[in-house]
Chains A and B, each alone.
Chain A
Amino acid sequence: MSQALLQVDGVSKRFGGFTALDGVSVDIRPGERFGLIGPNGSGKTTLINCISGVLSSDLGAIRFDGQDITRLPAYKRTRRGIARSFQVPRPFRSMTVLENLLVAIDFAVIGHGLSTRQADAEVYAILDKIGLADKAHVSSSQLSQVELRKMELARAMAARPKLLISDEAMAGLAGAEVDEVLDVLLKLNAEGITVIMIEHIMQAVMRFSERVMCLDAGRVICEGTPQQVMADKRVQEAYLGT
């Protein structure tokens, strides 16, 4: 039963002369809450770009749900169940919150033959869960920072993911707002969705994650429980040193 949902195997990515990822391997189990940390420029975002298909990796393989997805375009990965949010929110600005989610339902949830009414109902259910129901008909260009973050998570949810990758969904939020987003992620995980969380706010990662991995300069330097990772010398050096 311990077969991994996501297997990253020796993934490398170079930008010109700069090595952003250098042979990163990690297995993520179904239903896990996984934290990804590391200093700025350590390759966290590059790694999830490779996982979600925004970038294609130069070397290595990525398997999801037992199938090789290394060369699949991003939209096919989303359809197989990998959804994500973005570090800098990327709403569809000309659309309302409702329409933003409908894009994901229209295109990611295929083969289910949802009627317009079913799709709408599903969107409202997600918005309810995330606490944005009253904003359904507001243009996404008029949302506050925390609402944008929530909408990104909601849009990712509309794609009915098995794996949700949250890329610094709490960056720039105030204390109470961090808790709000954290609660949302915990609620989603309780429903069986595997979550990878990338975060700078150490407290949040540690509270949320069952397992944490730390990247530095494109390599995995440490992996384990939050306590183990926090106690690790190399992690402390990576954050404090140089």
Chain B
Amino acid sequence: MFSWELLGDAIVLGVLVGCFYAAVSIGLSISFGLLDVPNVAHPALLVLASYGAWLLGDFDIDPIVAGLLLMPPFFVLGVVLYRTYHETFEKRGSDAGVRGLAFFFGIAFIIEVGIIMAFGVDQRTVQAIYIGKSVEVLDIRIPMRMVVAFAMALLLTLALTLYLSRTFLGRAIRAVAQDEAALRLMGADPIAIKQWAFGIATAVVALAGALLIIVQPVEPTLDRAYIGRTFCVVVMAGLGSMSGTLLAGIILGVAETIVLTLFGASWAPAISFTLLLIVLGVRPQGLFGR
């Protein structure tokens, strides 16, 4: 049943969910948007991080702390992934597209099946004091977990935006996206910078994965839904735009919650993908892109 009140609730919740979507997409915004690496394994890494947070939960570690703890190993994982990608595909030049994509697709698939074999197909959740409670804002009941995810998402986006615009390495990362050759002329090593950036992007995924398991129960094949969400956000944002990522996340979040309230949950998986197709068809450079 339609009602304005429900719609209002949906929009408020949508904004919260949207910021969370921005947080899980921002790693991809760096790896694919800025570095042009066809990282279709991003959502699988996200779910992997969620399982990491779930495992650490057994030792009474708060999921957000777990996410932070997972950042260094994920950084290393990202460096190794990029190094392999670069040595085997990027450097050889020709045909990097097809096999590079297949490589990341294969990695995603291995992660997914690996999780199934190790932990089964059951849904997993974590415990924390802010999970299960809720707060009331303007007569709308908002789950506490969403508020935590929302706050963390904003912090993460802000931190990355500052990192990319204010620090030397951050600027170098943006420069490498613009003009690799020019950077090489300036005496910097573009490959080392890209490797560092991919490490950062993957480390961010670790924290985002922790947020994911705070927001919803995870299962091994959850990455498929997030292929749509993360790529939708990154493409809609305009490749590599951090502030655009936040706005695009919110648009997706609001669209999803509205459709959910009006038509029911069985339509949910298709929304992000439909939005993605529309953006690709109408404005492939993204809403906020160049």
Contact = CB atoms under 8 A, between A and B. Distances in A.
Q: Taking the complex as a whole, does A directly touch B, i.e. does some CB pair lie under 8 Å apart?
A: yes
Interface residue SS majority, chain A:
loop
Interface in B247-290: 290
B94 interface: yes
Contact of A16 (B93, B94, B290): B290
Nearest to A15: B290
A94 B94 contact: yes
A141 B290 contact: no
B184 to A, nearest CB: 14
Interface string A52-87: 000000000000000000000000000000000000
Nearest to A91: B94
Nearest to B93: A93
Contacts of B290: 15-16
A101 B290 CA distance: 36
Interface in A7-65: 15-16
A93 B97 CA distance: 14
A15 B94 CA distance: 27
How large, as a class, is the contact surface on chain B?
under 10
Contacts of A16: 290
B102 to A, nearest CB: 17
A141 B94 CA distance: 9
A141 B93 CA distance: 11
A94 B93 CA distance: 12
A215 B16 CA distance: 51
Nearest to B285: A16
A199 B219 CA distance: 59
A141 B290 CA distance: 34
Contacts of A94: 94-95
A16 B289 CA distance: 9
A15 B290 CA distance: 8
Contacts of A15: 290
A16 B290 CA distance: 5
A172 B93 CA distance: 20
Interface string B82-109: 0000000000011100000000000000
A36 B61 CA distance: 66
A94 B98 CA distance: 14
Interface in B92-145: 93-95
A130 to B, nearest CB: 23
Contacts of B93: 93
A237 B95 CA distance: 43
B177 to A, nearest CB: 14
Contacts of A93: 93-95
A94 B290 CA distance: 34
A94 B94 CA distance: 9
A89 to B, nearest CB: 12
B92 to A, nearest CB: 10
Interface in A129-166: 141
A96 to B, nearest CB: 14
B152 to A, nearest CB: 32
Contacts of B95: 93-94
B288 to A, nearest CB: 12
Contacts of A141: 94
Interface in B46-100: 93-95
A205 to B, nearest CB: 23
Interface string B176-192: 00000000000000000
A93 B95 CA distance: 9
A141 B92 CA distance: 11
Contacts of B94: 93-94, 141
Nearest to A16: B290
Nearest to A18: B290
A16 B286 CA distance: 13
Nearest to A17: B290
A100 B165 CA distance: 45
A79 to B, nearest CB: 26
B213 to A, nearest CB: 39
Nearest to B289: A16
A93 B94 CA distance: 7
A169 B93 CA distance: 21
A169 to B, nearest CB: 19
A1 B33 CA distance: 52
Given A15-B290, A16-B290, 5 more contacts: A93-B93, A93-B94, A93-B95, A94-B95, A141-B94
Pairs of residues from A and B, 8 with the lowest C-beta to C-beta distance, nearest first: A16-B290, A93-B94, A141-B94, A15-B290, A94-B94, A93-B93, A94-B95, A93-B95
8 contacts: A15-B290, A16-B290, A93-B93, A93-B94, A93-B95, A94-B94, A94-B95, A141-B94
